[in-house]
Amino acid sequence: MVKNILKDTEDRMHKAAEVVRQEMVKIRTGKATTALLDGIKVDYYGVMTPLTKVGNVSVADIHTLTIQPWDKSMLDPIQKVILTANLGLNPIKDGDIVRVPIPPLNEERRRELVKLTKKFGEEGKIAVRNIRRDAIEHLKKSEKAEHFSEDERKRGEAEVQKMTDRFIKDIDALLSQKEKEIMEV
Assign residue 76 the CATH number of its domain. Answer: 3.30.1360.40
The answer to whether residues 166 and 131 touch, using CB atoms and an 8 Å cutoff, is: no
pTM of the model: 0.71
Give the β-pairing of 97-101 and 92-94: antiparallel
pLDDT of residue 185: 64
Q: CATH code at 139?
A: 1.10.132.20
Report residue 23 CA to chain centroid gap.
3
Phi, psi of 183 (to 5 degrees): -80, -10
3 state DSSP class of 96: coil
Is there a single domain that holds both residue 125 and residue 150? yes
Is there a single domain that holds both residue 111 and residue 178? yes
Residue 5, H or E segment: helix 2-26
By 3-state DSSP, what share of the chain in percent is helix, strand and coil, each rounded to 5? 65, 15, 20
Per the structure, the complete domain to which residue 73 belongs is given by 34-101
Low-confidence ranges of the chain (pLDDT < 70): 185
Is there a single domain that holds both residue 135 and residue 117? yes
Is there a single domain that holds both residue 124 and residue 83? no
Is there a single domain that holds both residue 120 and residue 170? yes
Is there a single domain that holds both residue 44 and residue 86? yes
User: How many structural domains compose the chain?
Assistant: 2
C-alpha span between 48 and 93 (Å, rounded) = 21
Is there a single domain that holds both residue 42 and residue 18? no
CA angle, corner 117, sides to 8 and 182, nearest 5?
130
pLDDT of residue 38: 80
Which residues, other chains included, contact 151 with Cβ-Cβ below 8 Å and sequence gap of 6+? none
Is there a single domain that holds both residue 93 and residue 144? no
